[in-house]
Amino acid sequence: MRIHFEPQLRASRGKLLSGHGAGTAVHAGSFLRERRMVLDSDLLNHAPELLRILTHELFHFVWRKLDNGTRLRWDALVRAELGSPGELGWSAEWRKAALTPADSRKRTRRWREYLCESFCDSAAWYFSGAAKHPEYTLPAKLRRLRRQWFTRLLAERKLPL
């Protein structure tokens, strides 16, 4: 897998761009099939944040290869939390806020994207070891359940990359 650092990363119309221009500022983007990851070079000056973002991106690769049973167990976990606010990263949080009841019921694309982002954000939170971050807004009792879930996943040694 290759990791590149580029200045002023932004996303625009499904593309990842670098430098001034249109689009939304982002920390990183991953190209799963090409096994390539691009991170904003600003992160090089913020080690804890770099590790958080790097872990999040790495788990995109894990999620892609995860077996269906494990994915369904993740689906069941976050489905049971619906109705509670908060998440463990902005990427999952804004997607969660945009979900409608039909999304989870019909497992729409929006729901599947939320599943993936909540998985990656939770992994980044789990491995960061930090209790506090402005993006950690999930209530404590739900964090405990996610921690147990990841501890179990690791106990099974199931981390395909």
Q: How far is the CB of 55 from Zn ion (least distance, A)?
A: 11
Q: Are 23 and 8 in contact (CB under 8 A)?
A: no
Q: Which is nearer to Zn ion, 25 or 102 (CB)?
A: 25
Kindly give the interhelix angle for 140-155 and 68-81, rounded to the nearest 10 degrees. 170
Kindly give the interhelix angle for 90-98 and 109-128, rounded to the nearest 10 degrees. 150
Q: How far is the CB of 121 from Zn ion (least distance, A)?
A: 7
Q: Which is nearer to Zn ion, 24 or 141 (CB)?
A: 24
Q: Which is nearer to Zn ion, 17 or 53 (CB)?
A: 53
Residues in touch with Zn ion (CB under 5 A): 91, 117, 120
Q: How far is the CB of 148 from Zn ion (least distance, A)?
A: 23
Report d(CA 85, CA 114) in Å as an integer: 14
